[in-house]
Structures are given as C-alpha cells and as structure tokens.
Amino acid sequence: MAHDLHAALTSLGIHNHHRLLLNVPANASSDASLAIVTSPTTNAPIAAVRLDDEKSYEETLARSAAAFKKWREVPAPVRGQVVRAIGDEFRTHKDALAAIITAEVGKITSEARGEVQETIDIADFAVGLSRQLYGLTMPSERPGHSMREQWLPLGPVGVISAFNFPNAVWAWNAMLAAVCGDTVVWKPSLLAPIIAIASNTLAQRVASRFGHEDLFTLVMGTDQLIGERFIADKRLPLISTTGSCRMGRRVGEVVSKRLGRSLLELGGNNAAIVHEDADLDLAARAIVFAAVGTCGQRCTTTRRLIAHESIVDQLLAKLSKTYQSVRIGDPAREGTLVGPLVNARAVEGFEHAIASAKQQGGTVLVGGGRASVAGLSGHFVQPTIIRAPANNQLPIAREETFAPILYVFTYRDIEDAIAMQNGVDQGLSSCIFTRHAGIAERFLSPAGSGSDCGIANVNLGTSGAEIGGAFGGEKDTGGGRESGSDSWKAYMRRQTCTINFSGKLELAQGIKFE
C-alpha cells in the first residue's frame, strides 16, 4: 500500500512536497506540528503531514486575498480556459490520484477513479459555465431608465471537505469558484490530507503556468488551532462545508455571527421505498450498491429500506443472497467490492449501532460483525441488514451511522411510506422503485408533500448523483447546494444596476421631491 502511494506521488512529481513526510519520524506521534496518516486497510502509518500554525495560516490567507484582486479582473471565459487545463491535468493523472485515494481512505479502485472523474466532469461543466454567468434585464417603471442585474466575484472562498470524497467535493466548489472569479482556500480532513496536497498542487501548478499564483491554496490543522480561525475569518465571505450535522451547526453559527455566508452539505439518513409493483431485481441491485458502496461511508448511502409488506420477504431474500457474496478486502485489488471503514472509531460506531438495534428489538439478518481479511489488519466490517420489529420502531435508525448498515421497515400505504421516509432529521437523498406513474408522481409531488429531500430519484438508488444537478439537501442536511444547475450563484454576489439616460431625476413609486 505504501509502495503504491509512493509510486503515485512520484508520477505526479510531488513525492518530495514540503508538507509531506513519507518516512514517518519516530517521534511523529508526539510532535504537534505533524499529523500521522494511517492506512485503513493495513492500520499502519503511511505518511505524516506538516500542519499550519498561526503564522503560516496568516501568510496563506494574505496570499489568497491578494491573488483574488488580480484573478477577478480576468474575463470569465479566460478563467474558464485555466479550468479547462486543470481538468485536462486531472484527466492525465486520473489513475495516480485514484491510487492515493485508495491508499489513504480505503475506497475501492473503481470508486476512487469515479471520484476523480467527477473532478474532471465538474471542470468541464465549469468551462461551459464561464460563458453563462448570466444576469437579467428588467423593465424600469421610470421613463428613460434601464435596469439590469449582474453577478460579481465574491472573494476568497473557504472550503472544508470530509474524508469520504476527499477530491471531488473540493472540485465541486473549487472549479465553480474559479470561473466565478474567486480564489479558493481549502481545509481538508486530516484523515485525507495526502490527496488534498496532490489535488491542490496539480491545480495550482496549472494556474501558475497561466500566471496566476495562489489561485488555489491549502491550510491544514486541528479544529482548535486552524478550524475555528478559518470559519471566523472575515476575509472568507463564503465557507462551504461538507461534513457531519454537528460540525455544520458550529460552522453555521460562527459564520452567521460575522454575517458571512455558509454553504452546508451535511449528513444524510437516506431511504429507499420499494412499492409492491417494483422491479425487484432492479431495486435489489441499486440498493446493494447504495447501501454498501464506499463501505457505507457516503452521505448518500441508503440506510433505510421501506418495503411494501407484500414483497419484503422476496426482496430481502435477494438482498441477503447478494450481501453474502460481496467480496470484502484490499480496496486496491481487482474484484473487491467493499473496502475498510476509515478508522477504528468508525468500527466502534458500527458496533454500537448494531448493539443498539438489537436492544431495540431489531433482528440481524446478515452480517453484524467485523470481517477478517487474510494478511490485513485494517478496519473491515460485514455489510449488515437489520430488520425492524413489527411496529417499525427502531430509534437507532434515526441516527446516521457512517457504516454499511441497512435497516428494513415495512408499509401498506404509500402515504405511510413517504411519512416514514421523511420522518428523520436529515433530508439529503431519497428514492422509490415502482412501475406505477401515479405512485412515482406522488413521491415527487409538486406541492411538496412527497419526498422532503434535496434529491429524489425514481427507479435508481440514493447514491451516484451526476454533476449536472445541484447536490445537497434540506433540514439538518443544511440546505446548501453544490456542483451543477445554478449552484454557481453561491460563489458570486448579485448587483442590481439602474441607469438613468433621461436627463431628468425621476423617482420611483411616483414620489415627488421638488
């Protein structure tokens, strides 16, 4: 694993990056200036990274603020050409970047490549967007006047990313922010700092070729020393945060106190409804991928299955058979479908959730424990299915556990199913499987009485969103939107402009002041 990481970094030309120590010093655990990166696959240290202190943090923010003043003057289509080149760079180095993700966070190779592909895709999207940052023209009530609105660069944008998508989530923000005329300061998870160093270095290497230093910068540190300073920093008009609901509440509180903007994409507790007329083979395949992909560590992971009582046993038979054949193991090995959880704490959370479910009357149908993988001492667990008691009361299912646990509930009436789907604090992703157009439309009710999530799918699972749509959710998920659609507006400020070409002073609302 360490060899693969070193080879990937060497191919990128950053194996000797000033922040990165591939030979972990013996005293690293006692050195507050270093963070040790441990492989979730082997449970062995693979690198250490140098953290920022107050001085280096200030230097980085000052550089980003200075770069913004230059970058905002570059025409948006020209900014798009820089982003185009960045996308090409990531396309060239896709496999090496994916190998770093696999080594650092345990994501299987195909999913790691898919994540880097998201970065490439959002760069392509941003290139087109650079010629479409449209404002509006509006009729004025005053003769001899015209009105329009325009969108202007916002400033240095702060991005906080989580470990589970350590490359793509940064790119969703960074590529859009860049074409909008903003610079980007990235604070990655300390569980995934190596891919952050690699990604930021590649992007900035390209930007520098075009004469734009410090377009992309990086700060690393603990929440206490760097995180709190970061979210309170008035030089960052927008903080975009991906992470837990608890963390998002803290970010939102601090940023709102300084009247800044926060873009929050937080936790999910996503449900799949399977109606009595559904294609069960299709539903089963989609549910398995969404429930066990990334070892259940996606914010869009399917955590609750709400199945019609007439087909639940048949569906569970299909799911159970597939779960028992899922290959758990080294995420870098071809054929592995489920890699490890990210660390020991995640395993403890997995075990706590299963114990709680049992105490609350749930029945473990498949899995339920740690998994043994020959030759590896990483954080492997069994994908697990737990059936709720007949009364559908299973309080632990209201909590988001970042692990491959699927809770199963039943229903008779579609209204009850939708109510169960909506009956949690989070509101990120949702889906329904049905052949009935009326049931599908009920789930997508234009009155808002269907799914209350930011994402609602029909006949496909809760995970695997495309970059063209706005990504995010409601309620405790935070209300933010990243990636496609008109999410670019979060990275700009709106200005309404009125031009008087009449030669007279005309007041609105018919006011006379003479």
As annotated, the active-site residues are 265, 299
| Whole-Å CA distances, 93 to 10, 119, 199, 337 | 11, 12, 10, 23
DSSP state of 378: S
Strand 34-38's sheet: what is its strand order?
20-21, 45-50, 34-38
What is the largest distance, in Å, between two alpha-carbon atoms of the chain? Answer: 89
Q: Which amino acid is at 494?
A: R
Question: What letter would DSSP give residue 282?
Answer: H
Q: Which amino acid is at 119?
A: T
Q: Decide: 43 and 347 in contact? Cβ < 8 Å.
A: no
Contacts of 289 (CB under 8 A, 6+ apart): 461, 463, 464
> Is residue 259 classed as helix, strand or coil in its secondary structure?
coil
HSE, side-chain direction, 13 A CA sphere, residue 322: 21
Buried b (16+ CB within 10 A) or exposed e, 141-167: ebeebeeeeebebbbbbbbbbbbbbbb
Contact call for residues 270 and 428 (beta carbons, < 8 A) = yes
In this structure, which amino acid lies at residue 4?
A: D
DSSP-assigned letter for residue 464: -
232/252 Cα distance (integer angstroms): 10
For the chain, what is the radius of gyration of the CA atoms?
A: 24
Terminal-residue alpha carbon distance, the chain? 80
